[in-house]
Structure 1
């Protein structure tokens, strides 16, 4: 495992326990999350990259892991992720130079997994 998956694994059990304690809050947040990341004037990839940059600037490891994965799933390239992280560094300063590399490592982990899955997929008809 790497940085992104480690964070997700670490948060899995406590998040499940909290979700069971306050299901309505999590259901409402899930609806907001889905609505916010649905393609509109901005495509889903751009929204995930924005989310990744905000996660860096707010220093949220769980958010970094979630949106690094989301950006990879949406087809973002490592260069696109790096540039989004660069904007976060410009806006957030020194702390973002710590969380930016974490975000880039998490993105690269999920990007490599996605690329590997694509390479191993059976060819179409």
Structure 2
């Protein structure tokens, strides 16, 4: 297991995802359309939706999802405190496993936040 829960996870998954996307392009296109529709700003802004997705990624114990939504939440302007509070809700809903995956998610978020802020 790597010490990075953000960039390294994304890089590890990239070639495998590319291969599968080439094998089933129509499925990936459909998923892309669903993704874009679900995360499009509406009554909830994109930042809030990405924080929800990050919390769900913790609940699903999906490192790739955590990396993707931590990155997107940062890109939409989420702060470390907003991420921490969203992740705190996962403790309520998932108990002990959320303390592990929540910590991974917060590490990934802080990694992307530091990169964006030039604090790396």
Q: Hey, which bits of structure 1, 4+ residues long, moved more than 6 A? A: none
CA distance in 1, matches of 2:6, 2:74: 12
- What whole-Å deviation, never above 9, does each CA across 1:94-121 have from its counterpart, x for those lacking one? 111110000000000111111129xxxx
Alignment correspondent of 2:6:
4
Gaps of 5+ in 2: none
Instruction: Note the aligned Cα RMSD (angstroms).
Output: 1.3
Normalising by structure 2, we get a TM-score of 0.94
The answer to whether 1:81 aligns with 2:88 is no
TM-score w.r.t. structure 1 length? 0.90
Q: Deviations over 1:11-44 (max 9, x none)?
A: 0111000000000000000011011111001000
Q: How does 1:18-97 map to 2 (within 5 A)?
A: 18-97=20-99
Query: Secondary structure of 2:93's match?
Result: helix
Larger Rg: 1
Aligned length: 117
